[in-house]
Amino acid sequence: MPGPARLVVLVSGSGTNLQALIEAVADPVYGAEILAVGADRDGIAGLERAERAGLPVFVHRVKDHGDRADWDRALTASVAGYEPDLVVTAGFMKILGPGFIEAFAGRIVNTHPALLPSFPGAHGVTDALAYGVRVTGCTVHLVDAGVDTGPIIAQGVVEVHDADHADGGEALQERIKTVERKLLVDVVGRLAREGHRIEDRKVWIPA
Ligand code: GAR
């Protein structure tokens, strides 16, 4: 029997997706363990959640490195040190460099708050709202060299209400995040327990 899948999670913010993963891995049946949590900034709730769970944390701020390539090398080395099976970017608001993506190719799982390929980038919720879509949602996908362009694993749909235009998308974001946390936990668990293969942009997880 192989042991639980080894996860490293990267965060930049409140870390509610990380929290959902922390709670999921507490059950041995889930099939995964979190080795460490990394961030691109200090003082965020995501790191506090990790510390509260007794997980090792590391921080690499772009501004502490000579250039972006140096930052990417440092981040890659920190993550590689934990020998992860999967890297989960859960609200990590930096674009990963080519070295990082090559080191963990096909094993980086990202969650995005819109139905890709629509509304990629840092403002998925508000871009979708401003466009006037009637449904939006979240996408869990593998990371490739583009911005939110990698093979899609799963998506969740959330309806847009008229009232969502009144509060700048705050309530919509919370509804998306409720669906997203469940979806991410489900997908990561299936990847951890069953593995996956990628064929012509399709991600297959054995049933
Ligand atoms: C999530 O909704 C995630 O999809 C989004 O940040 C939020 C993080 O929430 N990520 C992006 O927008 C990446 N482009 P959390 O810190 O509470 O998990």
How far is CA 158 from each of CA 81, 108, 126, 181, rounded to the nearest angstrom? 38, 24, 14, 13
The pLDDT of residue 3 is above 70: yes
Residue nearest atom 7 in ligand 1 by C-alpha distance: 91
**Residue type present at position 206:** P
Q: What percent of the chain has pLDDT over 70?
A: 100
Ligand 1 atom having least distance to the Cα of 11 = 16
Residue-range domains of the chain with CATH: 1-104 (3.40.50.170), 111-207 (3.40.50.170)
Burial class (CB in 10 A: 0-12, 13-18, 19+), 108: buried
Lookup result for tokens 């990267």: 10
Q: pLDDT confidence of 161, banded at 50, 70, 90?
A: very high
Q: pLDDT confidence of 2, banded at 50, 70, 90?
A: confident
In angstroms, rounded to a whole number, what is the distance separating the alpha carbons of residues 150 and 54? 32
- 112 noted as active-site residue: yes
Closest CA to 32 of 43, 42, 23, 45: 23
The pLDDT of residue 146 is above 80: yes
**pLDDT for residue 1:** 57
Per residue in 25-69, pLDDT (tens digit) is 999 999 999 999 999 999 999 999 999 999 999 999 999 999 999
